[in-house]
Chain A
Amino acid sequence: MRTRRSPSRPSALPTTRGPGRRAVLGGAMAAAGMAATGCGANARSTSGQLRLSEWNLFTGGDGLRLLEMHRQYQEAHPEIDLRASTFDWGSPFYTKVAMGAAGGRGADVATAHVSRLESLAPGQLLDPIDPAALAEFGIDDTVVLPEAWDECFFDGQLYAVPLDTHLLVQYYNLDVCRQAGVLGPDDRLIATSGSDEFLDMLEAIRDVTGSLALSIDTALPWPVFWTFYRQQDGELVLGEDGQFEMDDDKALTAMELMYRLSGEGLAPRHSAEMDTAANVSNGAAGLMFHGNWEIPTLEETGVDFSVTRFPDLFGNHRTRGDSHCYVLPHQRDRDPEVTRASLEYIASMLKSSLTWAGGGHIPAYQPVAESEEFDALHPQSEYRGAVEDIVFEPEGWFSGSAGRLQDELNGPLSTLHTGTQTPEEVLTDVKERLRALLQIPAPV
């Protein structure tokens, strides 16, 4: 491995003089100086465009739609140099936003989940938004879905602007369901009420597929658990010092249903990422619980499918939901011109959210959500009313999409599907993890 160098002989020395050491050093320092001034406070590029940096987490089918919206925005705003960056969804994205903002050099505007607002330390990592300045661009509480708008406040100040709401819905493979006889005369899934009727429907579907009936993501079971729990009016109040209120019986009922689905072979024991949509597109299952953002994925497969609201299992159609929103990460030297451009950018995104709705999300901007064009979108129109049934995440600094609550609870909850723990054991495990999380002093 080691190579031994022979001492260079005099003849090997260069005879012609290249640039001297000092010249090279001087040049390097000059270049470094130029680079240093290049990343200074001035957001204007040499051509006079205003540089606007945007960070987002849309890596799925919705990401393509965002690119299209950005293209339209860029065409309409030649004076802006939009620099959009997409980061991997979840923790990789949030850690970057948090670290950028912690150093006071966050992106000018970033996407986030409304459920993560508290964990992003409004006032520290996020800068407040002036509602009056936003209203100049036509966005205020009269045009945004009130349920989502109300979630954007923290300590009475506005910190986010909702772009959409998204929720768990029920997908169904039309061919499979038709053969199973669970479609009505209008080719829509027959409505069931209560978990028994739903399980009967699953049995009928399994008779057709010969393998599964319901496709679910077993690696990320929290949203389904939360939906089952909230349909029973279960409350989860997160206190301090390890204290919390949880309804054990209702949690156990929810867990037993999840355990039963996989235990009886109606749902898979393992399914993550692309497997979940694949199971319904290739006909291994007839139904699927998943977020509305999987619509583009299924459309690409060419399978004949439709979507409806989450089934009534415990007396209502409540379903776990969240909102994508825009936030202003903290900047030490906030340039008012860039802030104005950021707000205008946010307003344009909301106004062009019909494109966004193609990805399955329900626009929060009401003029679009109530438009005829949105109504004409299929299958989006099948579940647009479900917005009323949305249940958001429990309140806490560690809750929310890809937050620590989900991270810590998805592990034990997934064992309900794999069958390695009984619902009673999972409940104990979940409560222990909740207690441990609540004993941690809040960092925000």
Chain B
Amino acid sequence: MTRTRPPMPASRTGITDVRNRPKTSWAGLWFIAPFLGFYLLFVVWPSVVGLGYSFTDRSLAGGPVSFVGLDNWVESLSDPYMWSALWNTLLFTLLSVPTMVILALALALLTDHARRLGWFLRFSFFAPFVLSVAVMTLIWAWMYNPTLGLFNSVLESLGLSGIEWLHNESTAMISVVIATAWWQVGFNYLLYLAAMQSIPDDVYEAASLDGASAWQKIRRITLPLLSRTTGLITILQLIGSLRVFEQIYLMTEGGPNFATRTIIQYIYDSGFVGLRIGTASAMAYVFMALIIVASIAQFRFFSRKEQ
């Protein structure tokens, strides 16, 4: 507040007196209390309890619980299968983040330039996003089926040999990435499209008058003005990709020969199938540390670039 106004009776102006501020901010707290309550109960409290569990040998089966110090952490960090699961998560992230950012940008550019079928493109590119994960994985598992699936019958009708898609250690992860990109790219696409449509037309008009080609306009105007959106999308996608679990669990259950078992599945396997809540909590914290580091690095990188 830079201006000061003469005091007026609040009843006349409808404006709250400055001196009443503290009261109103308490009222605000009541409004967020329902959210805060659930947040504390279902996010903060379990996180704290989980950290506590990671220092115990707590089992899902119950029984006496004893403090085991750093045993779970040592076990997790020296477990080669945890590291290979972590690598699978990183591999999925490395493959999916660039794909889903660049693809979203390309689709948004296409839609932005389409004069006639814009509504149709918007609908087609975004529609898969509304499917539930179970539906998406059913569709793709059928299309990927090596003997009965769509892809291989197309390949074979073209005289090519079929690919084993989800059933081969070297192609399974890529197949999952392709299916995920089809399913999830719509959200990034929508963010890009919205950002593109908020770029004022006069910038482009000025560039046209200066004789800029279409490609130059994209490179020199669209992309620089989208950099904030790109940063946002990349961060969201990075976090989303690191958390990958459902579609892989439904499509391959982590196979073949664990080529697609992600860290979250390994945590699930240890905690819920193997009943070892203590170790699973320790692994979950190792993984959380990784996500936090990645997010901070990403955030630093993009905020510095903007300056």
Contacts and interface: CB of A to CB of B under 8 A. Distances in A.
B178 interface: no
B274 A443 contact: yes
Interface stretch (B4-12, B86-94, B144-152): B144-152
A223 interface: no
A227 to B, nearest CB: 21
Consensus secondary structure, chain B interface? loop
Contact of A102 (B61, B169, B190, B258): B61
B256 A99 contact: no
Contact of A99 (B60, B63, B164): B60
Contacts of A133: none
Interface in A357-390: none
B145 A95 contact: no
Interface in B117-170: 145-148, 164, 167-169
A95, A99, A412 interface centre (most CB from chain B within 10 Å): A95
Central interface residue in B194, B269, B273, B276, by most chain A CB within 10 Å? B273
A418 B167 contact: yes
Interface stretch (A119-127, A171-179, A244-252, A348-356): A119-127
A98 B167 contact: no
Contacts of A440: 75, 274, 276, 279
A278 B61 CA distance: 39
B62 interface: yes
A91 B273 contact: yes
A283 to B, nearest CB: 13
Contacts of B254: 411
Given A275-B148, A418-B167, A98 B61 contact: yes
A398 B276 CA distance: 11
A407 B191 CA distance: 40
A440 B275 CA distance: 11
Contacts of B146: 270
A124 B60 CA distance: 10
B273 A125 contact: no
Residue with the highest number of chain B CB atoms closer than 10 Å, among A94, A219, A270, A410: A270
Contacts of B75: 440
> Which of B146, B164, B191 has most chain A Cβ within 10 Å?
B146
Contact of B275 (A272, A330, A410, A444): A444
Nearest to B169: A420
A433 B167 CA distance: 21
Contacts of B257: 411-412, 414-415, 418, 420
A143 interface: no
Contact of B61 (A219, A404, A444): A444
B307 to A, nearest CB: 24
B255 A125 contact: no
A125 B276 CA distance: 14
A443 B275 contact: yes
A270 B61 contact: no
Given A275-B145, A275-B148, A414-B255, A125 B61 contact: yes
Given A99-B60, A443-B61, A443-B276, 4 more contacts: A275-B148, A407-B273, A411-B255, A420-B257
Interface of A: 1, 91, 94-95, 98-99, 102, 119-121, 124-125, 219, 269-270, 272, 275, 278, 330, 398, 403-404, 407, 410-412, 414-415, 418, 420, 433, 436, 440-441, 443-444
The 4 closest A-B pairs by CB, nearest first: A443-B59, A121-B61, A270-B167, A411-B257
